[in-house]
Amino acid sequence: MAGIVYLIGAGPGDAGLLTIKGAACIKKADVIVYDYLADKKLLAYAADKAELIYVGKQADKHTMRQEEINQLLVDKAKMGKTVARLKGGDPFVFGRGGEEALALRQNGLQFEIVPGVTSAISAAAYAGIPVTHRKIAASFAVVTGHEDPTRQESGINWQNLAVGIDTLVFLMGVGNLPYITKQLIANGREPKTPAALVRWGTKPQQEVLVTTVENAAADVKKYGLKPPAVFVVGNVVKLRDSLRWFDNKELFGRQILITRARNQASKLTAGLEQLGASCIEAPVISIEKPDDAFAGLDNAIENIGAYEWIIFTSANGVSKFFERLANKKLDTRALGNMRIAAIGSSTAKVLCRYGVRADLVPHEFCAEGILAEMGTQVKRETKILLPRAKEARSVLPDELKKAGAQVDIVQCYKTVTADFDYEAVAAKLAAGEINIVTFTSSSTVTNLLKLLGNKKELLAGTVVACIGPITAETCRKNGINPTIIAKKYTIVGLISAIRDFYKQVN
């Protein structure tokens, strides 16, 4: 059977602006053909076995000519493949989606158009510029700033466009800005009309240059503004100061390295990006099965009735414990009247998902905190189960044993150095492009250093943010001076600490 091609508008840059249907099409695709302007985060929706083909085109550099892209789509569809063609913005707004669709139709192949959010509107919106406003602009036009070079003469009706439309939005026009502004003025547009260029609109590295029609070309040259950028002309530009909301956030322009495990990084990334940061997810650890392949944990579960306490020290420990409990065809009823302690509110929340409310959550989210609060509840011969990571500190079991308790330590998981290419991260650190490095555990500290070849000097020019004092102490032991230490040892606490730090700096 012949396949199908989904021509998907990938949106203007912010990965969150992809449509639900667009995401669904990516998930089921056998092949994903993507552009320069399509955010790489969208590839996270792809199936593990999906073939990824980059066909990006920049102003002066084409990976593949348009005719070759058309043929690629035809060939893959003829092979019976489901193809997701990711195009920046909207496929039919100067995206050449029409040409690709015609090539498919001429070959008798199926296709569907999945509209996307165009940068013509969204880049301006993220700059605080509405393309229309009831009292200022009743019309707007989207115009190509880069016409087909094979045309004998311009297809743009400059005379009517210059004075007949309130707001003009030019796409791909940075290189032709002298010609565009000259035509607008020559055809009646007031030279002092407000204008703005929005580079990398909707992305954390967005730049906005406010100017006028007569000064735009000179200002672009003066400030070295490069493509891709949207050129907006009209009195609506005056509203930017009042409606600016994106590029004035607390962490806007800050590039942050997230070292957490890949499947756990999203909450930290989302919280920091909500504050305007640009996050690089570079997982330094990977969560894997314990060395004994759960033998110790399974044995403890089989004898679960012998314990008076279970102390969970991490959310991972909770998840792995209940996975093995279910594997034994047991549920929470097997815990009987056992008392449960959880180090940290995040650990306690994961327990709640399994229908268990912790009897004890210390105010200080560390081993020392739980020791202080358990106090007299631990007596001689009290049997305690401690399911945790292989690499966990010995403070908790050592002190419990000193109090006379019988402690069974079982491995739920182990953290290992992630299989990740860190050359690009090292280059960014060396160039001073990363402003903050976050550490959420001691293992993220030691594993990052291992991946960087123990070149701690690469972190010398960055702000180091730690989730708590234990992680901070690991930094110091490795010659790294932590700048930020969260007062509340949670992801939310870490985000708040980073936010508060930059409030003071700013």
Q: What is the pLDDT along the chain (506 residues), one digit of tens a residue?
A: 679 999 999 999 999 999 999 999 999 999 999 988 778 889 989 999 999 999 986 655 557 899 999 999 999 999 999 999 999 999 999 989 999 999 999 999 999 999 999 999 999 999 999 999 999 999 999 999 877 656 667 789 999 999 999 999 999 989 999 999 999 999 999 999 999 999 999 998 899 999 999 999 999 999 999 999 999 999 999 999 999 999 999 999 999 999 987 667 688 999 999 999 999 888 888 888 998 889 999 999 999 999 999 999 888 899 999 999 999 999 999 998 899 999 888 899 999 999 999 998 887 766 676 777 776 677 788 899 999 988 777 888 888 888 888 999 999 988 887 777 788 899 999 999 999 999 998 989 998 999 999 999 999 989 999 999 999 999 999 999 999 999 988 899 999 999 999 988 76
**Cα angle 469-488-446, degrees, rounded to a multiple of 5:** 35
Report helix angle 266-274 to 491-505, nearest 10: 30
- 101/338 Cα distance (integer angstroms): 64
- 482/468 Cα distance (integer angstroms): 10
Topology of domain 289-414 in CATH is Rossmann fold (3.40.50)
Domain(s) labelled CATH 3.30.950.10 in the chain stretch across 121-243
Topology of domain 121-243 in CATH is 3.30.950
172 assigned to active site: yes
**Cα angle 429-433-434, degrees, rounded to a multiple of 5:** 65
Question: For every residue of 493-504, which 3-state class applies, written as one string?
Answer: HHHHHHHHHHHH
The answer to whether the CB of 52 falls within 8 A of the CB of 43 is yes
User: Catalytic pick from 76, 172, 203, 320?
Assistant: 172
Q: How do beta strands 278-281 and 255-258 pair?
A: parallel
List the one residue out of 450, 429, 37 whose CA is nearest residue 227.
37
User: Catalytic pick from 21, 30, 41, 57?
Assistant: 57
β-pair partners for 437: 257, 464
Q: Considering the entire predicted model, what is its pTM?
A: 0.79
The answer to whether the CB of 189 falls within 8 A of the CB of 162 is yes
246 contacts: CB under 8 Å, gap ≥ 6: 126, 127, 128, 202, 206, 252, 276
- 437/413 Cα distance (integer angstroms): 25
- CATH code for residues 4-116: 3.40.1010.10
The answer to whether the CB of 265 falls within 8 A of the CB of 145 is no
CATH architecture entry for 255-284+418-505: 3-Layer(aba) Sandwich (3.40)
The answer to whether the CB of 203 falls within 8 A of the CB of 238 is no
> Is 45 strand, coil or helix?
helix
57 assigned to active site: yes
> Is 258 strand, coil or helix?
strand
Q: How many other CB atoms are found less than 10 A from the CB of residue 446?
A: 21
Strands across the sheet containing 309-312: 285-288, 406-417, 383-389, 309-312, 339-342
- 67/103 Cα distance (integer angstroms): 9
Domain(s) labelled CATH 3.40.1010.10 in the chain stretch across 4-116
**Cα angle 168-170-174, degrees, rounded to a multiple of 5:** 135
65 contacts: CB under 8 Å, gap ≥ 6: none
Alpha helices in 291-389 (DSSP H): 295-302, 315-327, 345-353, 367-374
- 413/233 Cα distance (integer angstroms): 58
Domain(s) labelled CATH 3.40.50.10090 in the chain stretch across 255-284+418-505, 289-414
Instruction: Retrieve residue 1's tokens.
Output: 């059977």
